[in-house]
Amino acid sequence: INDTMTVLRRQRGDFESFYAKFEEKCQLLGLIDPSTRNVQPIKEHRRELFHNIYED
């Protein structure tokens, strides 16, 4: 169980890093409206969905 939890924590960290790069690329390409950049609900919702799927 400890090995599994270690892997899950590492993968969660990998996802966080990937998602940050994804948001950065979207912003550079003009795909994110700057006025909504600091609004977190969509990002948090996506993250929540990912974690729920990932944990199941």
The rounded distance, in Å, linking the Cα atoms of 36 and 2 is 40
3-state secondary structure of 20: helix
Per-residue pLDDT at 29: 84
| Backbone angle region of 40, left / alpha / beta, with phi > 0 → left and psi within -120 to 50 → alpha | alpha
Q: What percent of the chain has pLDDT over 90?
A: 0
Q: Is the pLDDT of residue 36 over 70?
A: no
What average pLDDT does range 46-51 have in this prediction? 75
